[in-house]
Structure 1
Amino acid sequence: MSNFEYSLVNHYIHDLILLGMDPGNLKPYQHALFRDWFPVAIGDPGMLMGMFLCACRNLYLRTGLKEYYWGTLQYKGGCLRYLAGSIATAPKMTQARAESIMWDVTICTMLQLASDDLAAGDSAAWKSHIDAVSHMVKLNGGLENVRGMNGLLRRMIEVLASKDRLQVRSITPNGDNTAKLYTLDDIFGKCLFG
Protein backbone atom coordinates (compact mmCIF):
# COMPACT_ATOMS: atom_id res chain seq x y z
CA MET A 1 0.00 0.00 0.00
CA SER A 2 1.35 3.44 -0.91
CA ASN A 3 1.45 6.42 1.46
CA PHE A 4 -1.43 7.91 -0.55
CA GLU A 5 -3.49 4.76 0.00
CA TYR A 6 -2.67 4.72 3.72
CA SER A 7 -3.98 8.29 3.89
CA LEU A 8 -7.17 7.15 2.12
CA VAL A 9 -7.70 4.35 4.67
CA ASN A 10 -7.13 6.85 7.47
CA HIS A 11 -9.67 9.25 5.94
CA TYR A 12 -12.15 6.43 5.45
CA ILE A 13 -11.88 5.34 9.08
CA HIS A 14 -11.87 8.76 10.71
CA ASP A 15 -14.11 10.80 8.43
CA LEU A 16 -16.49 8.30 6.84
CA ILE A 17 -16.98 5.69 9.57
CA LEU A 18 -16.13 7.51 12.81
CA LEU A 19 -17.37 10.91 11.57
CA GLY A 20 -14.85 12.52 13.91
CA MET A 21 -16.44 10.83 16.94
CA ASP A 22 -14.64 9.33 19.91
CA PRO A 23 -14.33 5.55 19.26
CA GLY A 24 -15.87 4.94 22.69
CA ASN A 25 -19.17 6.50 21.59
CA LEU A 26 -19.86 4.60 18.39
CA LYS A 27 -23.35 3.88 17.10
CA PRO A 28 -24.32 0.23 16.52
CA TYR A 29 -23.79 0.41 12.75
CA GLN A 30 -20.31 1.86 13.30
CA HIS A 31 -19.43 -1.05 15.60
CA ALA A 32 -20.70 -3.46 12.94
CA LEU A 33 -18.63 -1.75 10.24
CA PHE A 34 -15.46 -2.05 12.34
CA ARG A 35 -16.14 -5.56 13.59
CA ASP A 36 -17.63 -7.25 10.52
CA TRP A 37 -16.98 -5.18 7.39
CA PHE A 38 -13.62 -3.45 7.80
CA PRO A 39 -11.45 -6.58 8.35
CA VAL A 40 -12.91 -8.15 5.19
CA ALA A 41 -12.45 -4.91 3.23
CA ILE A 42 -8.78 -4.66 4.16
CA GLY A 43 -8.18 -8.29 3.14
CA ASP A 44 -10.01 -8.32 -0.19
CA PRO A 45 -8.51 -6.51 -3.22
CA GLY A 46 -11.88 -5.47 -4.67
CA MET A 47 -13.30 -4.15 -1.42
CA LEU A 48 -10.02 -2.39 -0.64
CA MET A 49 -10.17 -0.63 -4.01
CA GLY A 50 -13.79 0.23 -3.25
CA MET A 51 -12.69 1.78 0.04
CA PHE A 52 -10.03 3.82 -1.78
CA LEU A 53 -12.67 4.84 -4.35
CA CYS A 54 -15.15 6.04 -1.71
CA ALA A 55 -12.42 7.95 0.18
CA CYS A 56 -11.19 9.61 -3.04
CA ARG A 57 -14.74 10.57 -4.04
CA ASN A 58 -15.44 12.06 -0.62
CA LEU A 59 -12.15 13.98 -0.61
CA TYR A 60 -12.72 15.21 -4.16
CA LEU A 61 -16.22 16.45 -3.27
CA ARG A 62 -14.81 18.23 -0.22
CA THR A 63 -11.66 19.72 -1.75
CA GLY A 64 -12.02 19.71 -5.54
CA LEU A 65 -8.39 18.55 -5.83
CA LYS A 66 -7.68 16.76 -9.11
CA GLU A 67 -5.49 14.08 -7.46
CA TYR A 68 -8.61 12.75 -5.77
CA TYR A 69 -10.59 12.91 -9.00
CA TRP A 70 -7.87 10.90 -10.77
CA GLY A 71 -7.96 8.51 -7.81
CA THR A 72 -11.69 7.97 -8.32
CA LEU A 73 -11.03 6.99 -11.94
CA GLN A 74 -8.14 4.70 -11.03
CA TYR A 75 -9.93 2.87 -8.24
CA LYS A 76 -13.27 2.68 -10.05
CA GLY A 77 -11.45 1.03 -12.96
CA GLY A 78 -9.80 -1.38 -10.52
CA CYS A 79 -13.17 -2.25 -8.96
CA LEU A 80 -14.70 -2.87 -12.38
CA ARG A 81 -11.80 -5.15 -13.42
CA TYR A 82 -12.11 -7.04 -10.13
CA LEU A 83 -15.86 -7.45 -10.59
CA ALA A 84 -15.47 -8.66 -14.17
CA GLY A 85 -13.20 -11.46 -12.96
CA SER A 86 -15.37 -12.29 -9.95
CA ILE A 87 -18.63 -12.40 -11.87
CA ALA A 88 -17.09 -14.57 -14.59
CA THR A 89 -16.40 -17.22 -11.94
CA ALA A 90 -19.63 -16.74 -9.97
CA PRO A 91 -20.48 -19.64 -7.66
CA LYS A 92 -23.53 -21.76 -8.31
CA MET A 93 -26.37 -22.07 -5.83
CA THR A 94 -24.85 -25.28 -4.42
CA GLN A 95 -21.82 -23.37 -3.22
CA ALA A 96 -19.25 -24.10 -0.58
CA ARG A 97 -18.86 -21.53 2.23
CA ALA A 98 -15.52 -20.31 0.78
CA GLU A 99 -17.26 -19.54 -2.52
CA SER A 100 -20.09 -17.85 -0.63
CA ILE A 101 -17.59 -15.56 1.10
CA MET A 102 -16.12 -14.70 -2.31
CA TRP A 103 -19.65 -13.92 -3.52
CA ASP A 104 -20.25 -11.71 -0.45
CA VAL A 105 -17.19 -9.59 -1.18
CA THR A 106 -18.24 -9.34 -4.83
CA ILE A 107 -21.61 -7.99 -3.69
CA CYS A 108 -19.86 -5.59 -1.29
CA THR A 109 -17.64 -4.27 -4.07
CA MET A 110 -20.73 -3.71 -6.21
CA LEU A 111 -22.35 -1.84 -3.29
CA GLN A 112 -19.24 0.32 -3.01
CA LEU A 113 -19.57 1.21 -6.70
CA ALA A 114 -23.24 2.06 -6.10
CA SER A 115 -22.23 4.23 -3.15
CA ASP A 116 -19.72 6.05 -5.35
CA ASP A 117 -22.38 6.58 -8.01
CA LEU A 118 -24.68 7.98 -5.32
CA ALA A 119 -21.95 10.42 -4.24
CA ALA A 120 -21.21 11.42 -7.83
CA GLY A 121 -24.90 12.03 -8.51
CA ASP A 122 -25.03 9.44 -11.29
CA SER A 123 -28.47 7.95 -10.70
CA ALA A 124 -28.40 5.80 -13.88
CA ALA A 125 -25.13 4.09 -12.88
CA TRP A 126 -26.36 3.79 -9.28
CA LYS A 127 -29.53 2.05 -10.46
CA SER A 128 -27.49 -0.24 -12.70
CA HIS A 129 -25.26 -1.32 -9.82
CA ILE A 130 -28.19 -1.81 -7.43
CA ASP A 131 -29.98 -3.87 -10.09
CA ALA A 132 -26.81 -5.95 -10.50
CA VAL A 133 -26.70 -6.54 -6.73
CA SER A 134 -30.34 -7.63 -6.86
CA HIS A 135 -29.54 -10.06 -9.67
CA MET A 136 -26.53 -11.43 -7.75
CA VAL A 137 -28.71 -11.94 -4.67
CA LYS A 138 -31.26 -13.85 -6.78
CA LEU A 139 -28.48 -16.05 -8.20
CA ASN A 140 -27.48 -16.79 -4.61
CA GLY A 141 -31.00 -18.03 -3.83
CA GLY A 142 -32.47 -14.83 -2.39
CA LEU A 143 -31.74 -12.31 0.34
CA GLU A 144 -32.26 -14.94 3.04
CA ASN A 145 -29.08 -16.66 1.78
CA VAL A 146 -26.95 -13.53 2.19
CA ARG A 147 -25.36 -14.18 5.57
CA GLY A 148 -22.00 -12.46 5.27
CA MET A 149 -20.48 -10.25 7.93
CA ASN A 150 -22.89 -11.36 10.66
CA GLY A 151 -25.92 -10.02 8.81
CA LEU A 152 -24.43 -6.59 8.06
CA LEU A 153 -24.21 -7.28 4.32
CA ARG A 154 -27.89 -8.21 4.13
CA ARG A 155 -28.91 -5.05 5.97
CA MET A 156 -26.68 -2.91 3.74
CA ILE A 157 -28.36 -4.38 0.66
CA GLU A 158 -31.82 -3.74 2.13
CA VAL A 159 -30.97 -0.11 2.91
CA LEU A 160 -29.23 0.77 -0.34
CA ALA A 161 -31.75 -1.04 -2.51
CA SER A 162 -34.89 0.47 -0.98
CA LYS A 163 -34.72 3.69 1.00
CA ASP A 164 -32.22 5.49 -1.18
CA ARG A 165 -33.69 4.29 -4.47
CA LEU A 166 -36.37 6.94 -3.97
CA GLN A 167 -33.95 9.65 -2.84
CA VAL A 168 -31.43 9.20 -5.65
CA ARG A 169 -33.81 10.69 -8.22
CA SER A 170 -33.31 14.15 -6.71
CA ILE A 171 -29.50 14.03 -6.61
CA THR A 172 -27.61 16.38 -8.88
CA PRO A 173 -23.81 16.59 -9.27
CA ASN A 174 -22.35 19.31 -7.05
CA GLY A 175 -25.78 19.81 -5.47
CA ASP A 176 -26.22 20.54 -1.80
CA ASN A 177 -27.77 17.14 -1.14
CA THR A 178 -24.93 15.04 -2.64
CA ALA A 179 -22.49 15.34 0.26
CA LYS A 180 -25.27 14.87 2.83
CA LEU A 181 -26.52 11.66 1.25
CA TYR A 182 -23.00 10.30 1.00
CA THR A 183 -22.32 10.13 4.73
CA LEU A 184 -22.59 6.63 6.14
CA ASP A 185 -24.52 8.05 9.07
CA ASP A 186 -27.26 9.40 6.80
CA ILE A 187 -27.50 6.16 4.84
CA PHE A 188 -27.13 3.63 7.65
CA GLY A 189 -27.47 5.44 10.97
CA LYS A 190 -31.21 5.08 11.43
CA CYS A 191 -31.89 2.18 9.07
CA LEU A 192 -29.35 -0.50 9.89
CA PHE A 193 -29.75 -0.85 13.61
CA GLY A 194 -32.41 1.43 14.85
Structure 2
Amino acid sequence: MEDFCNFIDAGGLMEISFRGNKFSWCNGQSEMVRSWARLDRALCNLCCLELFPSVSLKCLDRQSSDHAPMLLGLVDPVLHWNSDVFGWTGAHIKRLEARVEEGEVSLQEGFSEDVENDVLASRLELSIWQKGEELRIAQQVKNVWIDHGEINSSFFKAMQVRRARMVTKMQLSDGRVLSSPEEIHDAAVVHF
Protein backbone atom coordinates (compact mmCIF):
# COMPACT_ATOMS: atom_id res chain seq x y z
CA MET A 1 0.00 0.00 0.00
CA GLU A 2 2.90 2.30 0.77
CA ASP A 3 4.28 1.78 -2.77
CA PHE A 4 0.91 2.76 -4.22
CA CYS A 5 0.78 5.93 -2.09
CA ASN A 6 4.36 6.79 -3.14
CA PHE A 7 3.35 6.29 -6.79
CA ILE A 8 0.42 8.72 -6.35
CA ASP A 9 2.66 11.31 -4.66
CA ALA A 10 5.47 10.96 -7.24
CA GLY A 11 3.05 11.35 -10.15
CA GLY A 12 1.33 14.36 -8.59
CA LEU A 13 -2.00 12.56 -8.96
CA MET A 14 -5.23 13.85 -7.47
CA GLU A 15 -8.59 12.19 -7.03
CA ILE A 16 -11.22 13.29 -9.54
CA SER A 17 -14.25 14.76 -7.80
CA PHE A 18 -17.53 12.81 -7.74
CA ARG A 19 -20.84 14.11 -9.00
CA GLY A 20 -24.00 12.62 -7.55
CA ASN A 21 -23.86 9.22 -5.85
CA LYS A 22 -20.47 8.84 -4.22
CA PHE A 23 -20.77 5.13 -3.42
CA SER A 24 -19.55 2.75 -6.13
CA TRP A 25 -20.39 -0.58 -4.49
CA CYS A 26 -23.46 -2.14 -2.91
CA ASN A 27 -23.83 -5.62 -1.46
CA GLY A 28 -27.15 -6.04 -3.31
CA GLN A 29 -29.16 -6.74 -0.18
CA SER A 30 -32.34 -4.92 0.73
CA GLU A 31 -33.66 -3.04 3.71
CA MET A 32 -31.46 -2.85 6.81
CA VAL A 33 -28.79 -5.33 5.60
CA ARG A 34 -27.92 -3.21 2.54
CA SER A 35 -24.35 -1.92 2.68
CA TRP A 36 -22.72 0.80 0.55
CA ALA A 37 -19.05 1.70 0.07
CA ARG A 38 -16.85 3.92 -2.07
CA LEU A 39 -14.35 1.39 -3.41
CA ASP A 40 -13.63 2.70 -6.91
CA ARG A 41 -11.91 6.00 -7.66
CA ALA A 42 -10.15 7.79 -10.52
CA LEU A 43 -6.96 9.83 -10.45
CA CYS A 44 -5.54 12.49 -12.77
CA ASN A 45 -2.60 14.88 -12.83
CA LEU A 46 -2.48 18.68 -13.01
CA CYS A 47 -2.06 18.66 -16.79
CA CYS A 48 -5.35 16.78 -17.16
CA LEU A 49 -7.10 19.29 -14.87
CA GLU A 50 -5.80 22.19 -16.95
CA LEU A 51 -7.10 20.62 -20.17
CA PHE A 52 -10.44 19.58 -18.63
CA PRO A 53 -11.21 21.85 -15.66
CA SER A 54 -14.75 20.46 -15.34
CA VAL A 55 -13.67 16.81 -15.24
CA SER A 56 -15.83 14.77 -12.91
CA LEU A 57 -16.68 11.18 -12.11
CA LYS A 58 -20.19 9.79 -11.82
CA CYS A 59 -21.33 6.37 -10.66
CA LEU A 60 -23.96 5.06 -13.05
CA ASP A 61 -26.85 2.78 -12.16
CA ARG A 62 -25.77 -0.73 -11.17
CA GLN A 63 -27.27 -3.23 -13.64
CA SER A 64 -25.68 -6.65 -13.27
CA SER A 65 -22.79 -6.16 -10.86
CA ASP A 66 -22.32 -5.09 -7.29
CA HIS A 67 -19.98 -2.35 -8.62
CA ALA A 68 -21.45 0.68 -10.35
CA PRO A 69 -19.91 1.55 -13.71
CA MET A 70 -18.20 4.92 -13.59
CA LEU A 71 -18.50 7.66 -16.19
CA LEU A 72 -15.67 10.13 -16.62
CA GLY A 73 -17.28 13.46 -17.51
CA LEU A 74 -15.56 15.94 -19.80
CA VAL A 75 -18.37 18.48 -20.27
CA ASP A 76 -18.83 20.30 -23.59
CA PRO A 77 -21.61 22.94 -23.24
CA VAL A 78 -22.97 22.42 -26.79
CA LEU A 79 -23.18 18.65 -26.38
CA HIS A 80 -24.83 19.17 -22.99
CA TRP A 81 -27.57 21.36 -24.53
CA ASN A 82 -28.14 18.94 -27.41
CA SER A 83 -28.54 15.85 -25.24
CA ASP A 84 -30.28 17.35 -22.18
CA VAL A 85 -32.47 20.10 -23.62
CA PHE A 86 -33.16 19.28 -27.26
CA GLY A 87 -33.60 15.50 -26.98
CA TRP A 88 -36.65 14.96 -24.75
CA THR A 89 -36.21 11.18 -24.50
CA GLY A 90 -32.64 11.58 -23.35
CA ALA A 91 -33.67 14.25 -20.84
CA HIS A 92 -36.43 12.01 -19.51
CA ILE A 93 -33.99 9.12 -19.12
CA LYS A 94 -31.56 11.42 -17.29
CA ARG A 95 -34.32 12.60 -14.94
CA LEU A 96 -35.18 8.98 -14.15
CA GLU A 97 -31.50 8.15 -13.60
CA ALA A 98 -31.27 11.13 -11.25
CA ARG A 99 -34.40 9.96 -9.38
CA VAL A 100 -32.89 6.47 -8.96
CA GLU A 101 -29.61 7.99 -7.82
CA GLU A 102 -31.33 10.32 -5.34
CA GLY A 103 -33.33 7.39 -3.99
CA GLU A 104 -30.20 5.30 -3.54
CA VAL A 105 -28.47 8.19 -1.76
CA SER A 106 -31.50 8.48 0.52
CA LEU A 107 -31.43 4.71 1.17
CA GLN A 108 -27.73 4.96 2.02
CA GLU A 109 -28.60 7.44 4.74
CA GLY A 110 -31.40 5.28 6.15
CA PHE A 111 -33.96 2.73 4.99
CA SER A 112 -37.45 3.82 4.00
CA GLU A 113 -39.95 1.47 2.38
CA ASP A 114 -41.48 4.35 0.38
CA VAL A 115 -38.09 5.34 -1.02
CA GLU A 116 -37.25 1.69 -1.76
CA ASN A 117 -40.52 1.32 -3.71
CA ASP A 118 -39.91 4.59 -5.57
CA VAL A 119 -36.42 3.43 -6.56
CA LEU A 120 -37.78 0.11 -7.83
CA ALA A 121 -40.57 1.84 -9.81
CA SER A 122 -38.12 4.39 -11.23
CA ARG A 123 -35.73 1.61 -12.29
CA LEU A 124 -38.57 -0.19 -14.06
CA GLU A 125 -39.67 2.98 -15.86
CA LEU A 126 -36.03 3.77 -16.70
CA SER A 127 -35.60 0.31 -18.20
CA ILE A 128 -38.67 0.84 -20.40
CA TRP A 129 -37.42 4.23 -21.61
CA GLN A 130 -33.92 2.85 -22.28
CA LYS A 131 -35.35 -0.02 -24.35
CA GLY A 132 -37.41 2.51 -26.33
CA GLU A 133 -34.33 4.61 -26.96
CA GLU A 134 -32.39 1.53 -28.07
CA LEU A 135 -35.22 0.70 -30.48
CA ARG A 136 -35.21 4.26 -31.85
CA ILE A 137 -31.46 4.12 -32.45
CA ALA A 138 -31.77 0.69 -34.08
CA GLN A 139 -34.44 2.09 -36.42
CA GLN A 140 -32.20 5.02 -37.32
CA VAL A 141 -29.35 2.64 -38.11
CA LYS A 142 -31.67 0.53 -40.27
CA ASN A 143 -32.82 3.64 -42.18
CA VAL A 144 -29.22 4.65 -42.84
CA TRP A 145 -28.51 1.14 -44.10
CA ILE A 146 -31.55 1.27 -46.40
CA ASP A 147 -30.58 4.74 -47.72
CA HIS A 148 -26.95 3.86 -48.37
CA GLY A 149 -27.39 0.26 -49.46
CA GLU A 150 -25.46 -2.81 -48.61
CA ILE A 151 -21.84 -1.68 -48.61
CA ASN A 152 -20.39 -5.09 -47.87
CA SER A 153 -22.65 -7.06 -50.20
CA SER A 154 -19.95 -9.57 -51.17
CA PHE A 155 -19.40 -10.41 -47.52
CA PHE A 156 -23.11 -10.95 -46.86
CA LYS A 157 -23.54 -13.04 -50.02
CA ALA A 158 -20.61 -15.22 -48.98
CA MET A 159 -22.24 -15.69 -45.57
CA GLN A 160 -25.53 -16.71 -47.23
CA VAL A 161 -23.73 -19.31 -49.38
CA ARG A 162 -21.95 -20.61 -46.29
CA ARG A 163 -25.25 -20.89 -44.39
CA ALA A 164 -26.86 -22.66 -47.32
CA ARG A 165 -24.18 -25.37 -47.15
CA MET A 166 -24.44 -25.69 -43.37
CA VAL A 167 -26.23 -28.76 -42.00
CA THR A 168 -28.82 -27.54 -39.50
CA LYS A 169 -30.91 -30.73 -39.13
CA MET A 170 -30.24 -34.41 -39.66
CA GLN A 171 -32.78 -37.24 -39.75
CA LEU A 172 -31.45 -40.67 -38.88
CA SER A 173 -32.67 -43.95 -40.37
CA ASP A 174 -34.55 -44.73 -37.15
CA GLY A 175 -36.62 -41.51 -37.59
CA ARG A 176 -34.90 -39.39 -34.92
CA VAL A 177 -34.26 -35.77 -35.92
CA LEU A 178 -31.09 -34.12 -34.65
CA SER A 179 -31.05 -30.32 -34.56
CA SER A 180 -28.21 -29.19 -32.31
CA PRO A 181 -24.69 -28.87 -33.77
CA GLU A 182 -23.35 -31.19 -31.06
CA GLU A 183 -25.88 -33.97 -31.85
CA ILE A 184 -25.21 -33.68 -35.60
CA HIS A 185 -21.46 -33.79 -35.05
CA ASP A 186 -21.65 -36.84 -32.76
CA ALA A 187 -23.93 -38.71 -35.18
CA ALA A 188 -21.64 -37.95 -38.13
CA VAL A 189 -18.59 -39.15 -36.18
CA VAL A 190 -20.36 -42.39 -35.23
CA HIS A 191 -21.59 -42.97 -38.81
CA PHE A 192 -18.29 -42.32 -40.57
Return the TM-score normalized by structure 2: 0.30
Structure number with the higher helix fraction is 1
Greater C-alpha radius of gyration = 2
Structure number with the higher strand fraction is 2
Return the TM-score normalized by structure 1: 0.30
